[in-house]
Amino acid sequence: MPKPIREVLTNEALTGATVTVAGWVRTFRNDRFIALNDGSTIHNLQLVLDPEGTPRELVDRITTSAAVKATGELVPSPASGQRVELQVKELIVLGDSDGETYPIQPKKHSLEFLREQAHLRFRTNTFGAVFRIRHQVSFGIHEYFHDNGFFYFHSPIITASDAEGAGEMFRVTTLEDTKGTDPSEDFFERVTNLTVSGQLEAELGATALGRVYTFGPTFRAENSNTARHLAEFWMIEPEIAFADLKDDMDLAEGLCKHLIRRVLEQSADDLAFLDKRYADEEKQKPEAQRSSMGLIERLRFVADNPFERITYTEAIRILQDSKPYKKKKFQFPVEWGRDLQSEHERYLVEKHFNKPVIVTGYPAAIKAFYMRMNGPGDLGHSDQGPTVAAMDVLFPGIGEIIGGSQREERLEQLKERMAAMDIPEKELWWYLDTRKFGTVPHAGFGLGLERFVQFVTGMGNIRDVIPFPRTPGSAEF
C-alpha cells in the first residue's frame, strides 16, 4: 500500500529509503517535475522523472488530476520550500484525466464556481484544508464528550415530533399523493417528518443514563438562500441530568475551547494556509468591516480567554447605549422582548466585548416551550417580563453558534407552557412521562457543526464547509 504523502514529508527516517506513493497530479512541469497530492496534507510531494528514461506516451498521460502511483528513492531536495523529493524509478497512471476538459484547472477559481463542481472541489487546497479540519472538529467532539463521561446517543432521523415548534419540516411518506389522504394509510400510520432536532429524545436518554450527546444530521425546510442557512446540517446536542444553566454554559465553553485547541494542534498547516486566505479576503473588505485579528490569532484568543456572560436585559441596554443604535445604523429594532439579530450579536462580540459572549435570560415569548421559566433570584430574571433559563453563545464573525437552556423539569409549568403555545399534550405524552416518573433538573444545548467549522476555517459561506450543501433548488449530488 502506498505511504501517505503526509508521512513521507514529515518522517525523516524515510529519507534515503525506497517508497511508494499515489495521488492526483496537481501540476507537471518541463516533462520532469510532478506536484503530487493524495489528500492527506495540504502540501504536495515533488516527483522527479528521468526525462530520458520515461516513454513519451507515458509523459503525455501525466495531466492535471490524473491519478498516478510512483515508486522511487526519497532524497533531500535542492529546491527551497521542500525537505525531500522522490526520484522516480517506476510510475504508472492509475486513472487518466483529460487536461483539456478537467473543470478545475490549476488557477484561481471563485467559490461560486467551485460549488457547481462540488464533486471535484475537494481536490483544491482550500477545500482539502476545510474538510480535513471538519474531520478534526468531528473527532474532537466525540473525544470531549467521551472524556467527560457522556454516552453517544442516536436519536431518530424520522420523527413525529417537532422539537422546535417551527413547523418547517420535510414530510416523510410512501404515498404518491398526500392531499386528502388519511395519514393512517401511510407507512407509519401517521404523519412523520425528518428531524429538526434530537433534543427531546436526548432528554429521555439523559434521564436514565445521566449524560448523553447526539451527533447527526438535522433538516429544516426553510426557504432561505443565505450564507448562513442549510436545509440539511449536522447538530451536536448534549443533555445533562442534575444540571442547571451554569453547568450548561460551562460545558458549552469547555467544548468550544477543546475543539479550537485540537484544531490548532492537529491542523497547523491547513490553518496556516486558511489564515493567509482569510487575510487576503479581509483586505478586499471596506476598512470598517475588517476583522481586527487574523484567523489563527482569533482562534488562540478564543481558546485562551473566558467567555463574557451577560443577561439578555443587559445586552439590550448595551445595544441601546451604542453608537450604531443612536445613529440608527442597525437594520433591526432593539427593544426588550424582541430577539437579537445577527448584527446585534456581532456588535456585542466584535465591538463591545471583543470576545465570545454568552447571553442568558431571554424573554419567554421568543423561546421554545421546553425552557425553564425563571423566577425571582434566577439567572436572567427580569422585571420587564417573564424570562426563561436560556443561553446563546455568540462568536465573532458568526453570531449565535450555540443555543441551549435548562429544561423545564416541573410537570405543571411544562403543561402550562405547552398550552400557551398550542402544543397538544397527547403528541408529547412520552416527553411528559419523564416529568411524572422521577423528574430532575437537567440542561442541554445544540451546536451546529457547520457554523463551528465556518468559524474555525474563516469561510464566509456555510455552503463551503459541508461536502454537498442542500439548499432550496439544490440537491444535485
> Three-state SS string across 410-477, please?
CHHHHHHHHHHCCCCHHHHHHHHHHHHCCCCCEEEEEEEHHHHHHHHHCCCCHHHCCCCCCECCECCC
Query: CATH for 5-102?
Result: 2.40.50.140
| Over residues 87-100, mean pLDDT | 95
| Over residues 108-136, mean pLDDT | 94
**What integer best gives the mean pLDDT of the chain?**
94
- E strand or H helix at 89: strand 84-95
The confidence score (pLDDT) of residue 274 equals 97
* Sheet containing strand 399-406, strands side by side: 151-152, 211-219, 232-241, 442-448, 399-406, 390-395, 357-360, 308-311
Q: What is the pLDDT of residues 157-169, one digit of tens each?
A: 999 887 655 558 9
The confidence score (pLDDT) of residue 477 equals 77
Q: What is the pLDDT of residues 428-460, one digit of tens each?
A: 999 999 999 999 999 999 999 999 999 999 999
The confidence score (pLDDT) of residue 164 equals 58
Whether residue 236 contacts residue 447, with contact meaning beta carbons closer than 8 Å, is answered with: yes
The number of CA neighbours under 13 Å toward the Cβ of 350 is: 18
| Over residues 365-376, mean pLDDT | 95
Predicted TM-score of the model (pTM):
0.94
Confidence band, pLDDT 50/70/90 cuts, at residue 222: confident
Q: Where are the domains of the chain?
A: 5-102, 122-464
Amino acid symbol at 368: A
- Asked which of 201-210, 270-279, 391-400 is least confident by mean pLDDT, the reply is 391-400
Q: How many degrees, rounded to 5, is the angle at CA 5 between CA 30 and CA 92?
A: 55
Query: CATH for 122-464?
Result: 3.30.930.10
Q: What is the pLDDT of residues 376-402, one digit of tens each?
A: 999 999 999 999 999 999 998 888 999
Whether residue 207 contacts residue 241, with contact meaning beta carbons closer than 8 Å, is answered with: yes
- What is the percent of the chain with per-residue pLDDT over 70, rounded to a whole number? 99
Does residue 289 surpass a pLDDT of 80?
no
Task: State whether residue 166 is helix, strand or coil.
Answer: coil
| Over residues 315-340, mean pLDDT | 96
Q: What is the pLDDT of residues 36-57, one digit of tens each?
A: 999 999 999 999 999 888 999 9
Q: How far is CA 296 from the centre of its chain?
A: 17
